[in-house]
Structure 1
Amino acid sequence: MALIFTAKHANSRTALKAAQHYQVTAKVGEEYNLIDSVTGKTPEDIKVARRGNNLILCSDKEDVEVVIKDFWGVCSEDNQCYAKLDVPEPKQHRPEK
Structure 2
Amino acid sequence: MRELMQVWEVKRLLQPMFESMLTSEELRSLTFRVVRVVDGMNGRGLPDSDVIELSRVWVRWQIAGEDGGSGSLILENGIDSLASGFHEGGSARRVKS
**Greater per-residue strand proportion:** 1
Could you say whether these structures have the same fold, taking a TM-score greater than 0.5 normalized by the shorter chain as the test? Answer: no
TM-score range, shorter chain: 0.3 to 0.5
**Greater per-residue helix proportion:** 2
Q: Mark the structure with the bigger radius of gyration.
A: 1
TM-score by length of 2: 0.35
